[in-house]
């Protein structure tokens, strides 16, 4: 899994979740304290990604135009315009890769859950543990699904067992 190029980005929840999570985690860590506009953009981007994911879910049950309307209406401040080329591109992308539109927000959640678990483990063992430590460990795992990262970093394989049981 880690040795060669992948035929398809099946790990989008890990990758897009990390990208989305980094923005918010760094904001909460104080990186943007001197820049209220940067903080606003982080919140806007999260809301836009949630709206995009919602639109991608609806795209499977309605027309492309209706899914685009959901995307536009749920993005705050009118910052997602009804630009047919962009909306059509995004909705087609999400139809071809189910789960990709939601992967930004669900991946961020899974990443935050992993950070909480690792932080709790370190605290229980009396170790210091920082956000830098977390990202060093995360990046060392390579590009593998977040459930496997969770198992590798914590030793907890419950997510893997739940996934296998669901199949």
Q: What pLDDT sits at residue 121?
A: 96
Whether the CA torsion 128, 131, 136, 142 is positive or negative: it is positive
Averaged pLDDT, 1-14 = 71
Query: What are the tens digits of pLDDT across the range 106-147?
Result: 999 999 999 999 999 999 999 999 999 999 999 999 888 888
Q: What pLDDT sits at residue 85?
A: 80
Report the distance separating Cα 11 and Cα 100, nearest Å: 9
pLDDT at 29 over 80: yes
pLDDT at 151 over 70: yes
pLDDT at 99 over 90: no
Residues 6+ apart with CB under 8 A from 106: 13, 17, 53
Nearest CA among 111, 97, 100, 94 for reference residue 159 = 111
């Amino acid at each position: 899994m880690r040795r060669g190029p992948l035929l398809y980005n099946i790990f989008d929840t890990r990758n897009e979740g990390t990208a989305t999570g980094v923005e918010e985690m760094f904001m909460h860590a104080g990186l943007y304290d001197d820049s209220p506009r940067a903080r606003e953009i982080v919140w806007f981007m999260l809301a836009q990604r949630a709206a995009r994911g919602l639109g991608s879910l609806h795209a499977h049950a309605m027309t492309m135009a209706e899914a685009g309307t959901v995307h536009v209406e749920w993005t705050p401040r009118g910052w997602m315009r009804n630009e047919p080329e962009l909306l059509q591109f995004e909705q087609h992308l999400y139809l071809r890769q189910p789960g990709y539109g939601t992967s930004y927000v669900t991946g961020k959640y899974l990443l935050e859950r992993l950070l909480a678990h690792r932080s709790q483990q370190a605290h229980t063992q009396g170790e210091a543990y920082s956000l830098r430590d977390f990202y060093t460990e995360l990046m060392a795992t390579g590009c593998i699904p977040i459930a496997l990262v969770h198992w590798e970093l914590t030793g907890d394989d419950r997510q893997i067992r739940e996934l296998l049981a669901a199949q």
